[in-house]
Amino acid sequence: MTNNMNSTISQLKNHVQDQVTLAGWLYNSRAGGKVLFLIIRDGTGLCQCIVEKGKVPDDLFDQLRHLGQESSLTVTGAVRADERSVGGYELAVTGAEIISPAADYPITPKAHGVDFLLKHRHLHFRSQRQWCIGKVRHTVIDAIRRFFNDSAFILIDTPIFTTIVGEDQTSLFEVDYFGTPLHLTQTGQLYLESAAMSFGKVYCFGPTFRAEKSKTRRHLTEFWMVEPEVAFIDLPGLLELAENFVSFIVARVLQDNKSELETLGVNIEALEKIQPPFYRLTYTQAVDILTGPRAKDFLAKQLKEFQNQKQEIEAKIADLETQQSGQMKQWKKDKIAADLIDLRSTLAETETKIENNPKHAQLAAEFTWGKDLGGSDETIISLMHDKPVFVTHYPKQAKAFYMKTDRANENVVENFDLLAPEGFGEIIGGSVREDDHDRLLDRIKQQGLNPETYDWYLDLRKYGSVPHGGFGLGVERTVAWITAEKHIRQCIPFPRMADKVYI
Q: Which of 101, 18, 7 is nearest to 47 (CA)?
A: 7
Binding partner of residue 428 among Mg ion, ligand 4AD, none, CB cut-off 5 to 8 Å per kind: ligand 4AD
Give whichever of 79 and 460 is closer to ligand 4AD, judged by the CB atom.
Answer: 460
**Is 208 in contact with 186 (CB distance < 8 Å)?**
yes
Binding partner of residue 406 among ligand 4AD, Mg ion, none, CB cut-off 5 to 8 Å per kind: none
Binding partner of residue 24 among Mg ion, ligand 4AD, none, CB cut-off 5 to 8 Å per kind: none
Binding partner of residue 472 among ligand 4AD, Mg ion, none, CB cut-off 5 to 8 Å per kind: ligand 4AD
Binding partner of residue 474 among ligand 4AD, Mg ion, none, CB cut-off 5 to 8 Å per kind: ligand 4AD
87-90 long-range contacts, Cβ below 8 Å, gap at least 24? 87/9, 87/12, 87/45, 87/46, 87/47, 87/48, 88/13, 89/9, 89/12, 89/13, 89/16, 89/47, 90/47, 90/48, 90/49, 90/50
CA-based Rg of the chain, rounded to a whole angstrom?
27
Give whichever of 335 and 500 is closer to ligand 4AD, judged by the CB atom.
Answer: 500
**Is 468 in contact with 435 (CB distance < 8 Å)?**
yes
Give whichever of 218 and 387 is closer to Mg ion, judged by the CB atom.
Answer: 218
Q: What is the DSSP string of 348-417?
A: HHHHHHHHHHHHHHHHHHT--BTBPPPHHHHHHHHHT-SS-EEEE--BGGGS-TTBPBPTT-TTBBSEEE
Give whichever of 169 and 311 is closer to Mg ion, judged by the CB atom.
Answer: 169
Cβ at position 430, least distance to ligand 4AD in Å: 4
- Write the CA distances from 457 to 174, 187, 206, 467, integer angstroms: 21, 14, 21, 15
Cβ at position 387, least distance to Mg ion in Å: 20
Q: What is the DSSP string of 240-258?
A: HHHHHHHHHHHHHHHHH-H
Binding partner of residue 470 among Mg ion, ligand 4AD, none, CB cut-off 5 to 8 Å per kind: ligand 4AD
- The residue ranges that bind Mg ion (CB under 5 A) are 429
Q: How far is CA 251 from the centre of its chain?
A: 16
Give whichever of 202 and 380 is closer to ligand 4AD, judged by the CB atom.
Answer: 202
**Is 388 in contact with 421 (CB distance < 8 Å)?**
yes
Whose CB is nearest to Mg ion?
429
Cβ at position 474, least distance to ligand 4AD in Å: 2
Give whichever of 77 and 429 is closer to Mg ion, judged by the CB atom.
Answer: 429
Distance CA 420, CA 109 (A): 32
Q: Which of 384, 406, 408 is nearest to 469 (CA)?
A: 406
Cβ at position 305, least distance to ligand 4AD in Å: 28
Cβ at position 414, least distance to ligand 4AD in Å: 12
Binding partner of residue 220 among ligand 4AD, Mg ion, none, CB cut-off 5 to 8 Å per kind: ligand 4AD
Cβ at position 438, least distance to ligand 4AD in Å: 22
Cβ at position 367, least distance to Mg ion in Å: 17
Binding partner of residue 227 among Mg ion, ligand 4AD, none, CB cut-off 5 to 8 Å per kind: ligand 4AD
Binding partner of residue 87 among Mg ion, ligand 4AD, none, CB cut-off 5 to 8 Å per kind: none
Instruction: Name the H helices within 66-160.
Output: 114-119, 121-124, 128-150
Give whichever of 429 and 470 is closer to Mg ion, judged by the CB atom.
Answer: 429
Q: Which of 472, 378, 406, 440 is nearest to 235 (CA)?
A: 406
Give whichever of 24 and 472 is closer to ligand 4AD, judged by the CB atom.
Answer: 472
- The residue ranges that bind ligand 4AD (CB under 6 A) are 167, 187, 189, 210, 212, 219-220, 223, 225, 227, 426-431, 470-472, 474, 476-477, 488
- Strand, coil or helix: 429: strand
Give whichever of 388 and 429 is closer to Mg ion, judged by the CB atom.
Answer: 429
